[in-house]
A and B are shown apart, each in its own frame.
Chain A
Amino acid sequence: MRLTNSSVSSLIIDALCDNTARLNDSRVIEASSGDETSGLKVGVACLYCDYHYQTQQVATSMIGGLLKQFVIALPEIPDEIVQAFYASKEHLGGRGIRPPKILELFPQVLSRFRETFICIDALDELLLEQRAELLRLLKQVLQKSPTTRMLLTGRPQIYNELPKNLTRSAGMIVIQPSKEDIKAFIAAKLDNDPDPEVMTEQLKSEIMAYIPDHFSEM
């Protein structure tokens, strides 16, 4: 599933969109591959929390933003969405969709995919009350959509909030750059040096030798 024809490079989202083809693990590929004739086998939606936009990034707009991405990925907007939209225009004077309706429609939309992934970055950048509300809404979505998985990122303390609002048994991976990651990053930066005149091959070599060893696994 792609929402746009993107030429940019993603890691996890590309892998999920490509039906895990990049994961190089036959067991994983087998578990995640679907009917090749179906264009809707995998759906991926993402959110990036940003403290600059805390006034716009409230729980309702966030979960609505996820639903919107899955709707866009469908060949056409489902009838139940259209009907709910016009019903809201009649009864609520054009207000945005409310959480109860989102929770009613979300599982119906997700059921059109073989499996779906929800990815949310930087949960710590949401206001506390909005984060709690978003997680509670997502909990209800997951309960009604057994083929949906969710990938979250955030600062370590956020993990402690999950049992209260989402789940007691979420898995966890600690993200820290490997030495190879740092080497690749520095090499890319040096290749795109805006002032290459002042860079010598010796200085490049010294940078590549020193920084990865001293800053990996901080």
Chain B
Amino acid sequence: MFRAAFSDMFNKNSHNATNSFNTTYNTYHVAEAQSRILQWLSPLEPWDRHQDVASTRVEGIGAWIFEKPEFKSWLRRKEDGEPVDATLFCSGAPGAGKTYMW
């Protein structure tokens, strides 16, 4: 789907497009287009930060959160048969370790 849509759009938008584009499909152009589209969505790369945080956390710390009724209710979206809000807020003072809960 992406390749078809990209091909259509590429031919429509590129001054360098030729009629033989579809038969000389260049995966480099696809990767380049994907990269530009993702950059257009946002220049941020949050998963890089996640890697940094996760690499410094200590295994097992904070696992108590899974036993909290509020967490279980949020995950199930129900509490005693009643719907629970989609948002759960984890509150903590600076240095309490909020970031390392992720």
Contacts and interface: CB of A to CB of B under 8 A. Distances in A.
Contact of A171 (B1, B41, B73): B73
B76 interface: yes
A203 interface: no
Given A82-B5, A169-B85, 18 more contacts: A12-B101, A22-B66, A23-B66, A56-B44, A61-B44, A65-B41, A66-B46, A76-B1, A79-B2, A86-B13, A97-B40, A119-B102, A152-B87, A153-B98, A156-B91, A167-B86, A173-B89, A175-B91
Interface of A: 3-4, 6, 8-13, 15, 20, 22-25, 27-28, 31-32, 45-48, 50, 56-57, 61-69, 71-72, 76-79, 81-83, 85-86, 88-90, 96-97, 119, 121-122, 142, 146, 148-156, 158-159, 162, 166-167, 169-178, 180-181, 184-185, 188
Contact of B89 (A24, A154, A181): A154
Interface residues of B, number: 65
B17 interface: no
Contacts of A155: 91-94
Interface of B: 1-6, 9, 12-13, 34, 36-38, 40-47, 49-51, 53-55, 57-66, 68, 70-78, 84-94, 96-102
Contact of A61 (B12, B42, B71): B42
A175 B61 contact: no
Contacts, number: 245
A119 B61 CA distance: 18
Contacts of A97: 40-42
Contact of A28 (B1, B54, B75, B102): B75
- Enumerate the 7 nearest inter-chain pairs by beta-carbon distance, A residue then B residue, closest first: A64-B42, A175-B92, A8-B54, A76-B2, A65-B44, A65-B42, A170-B87
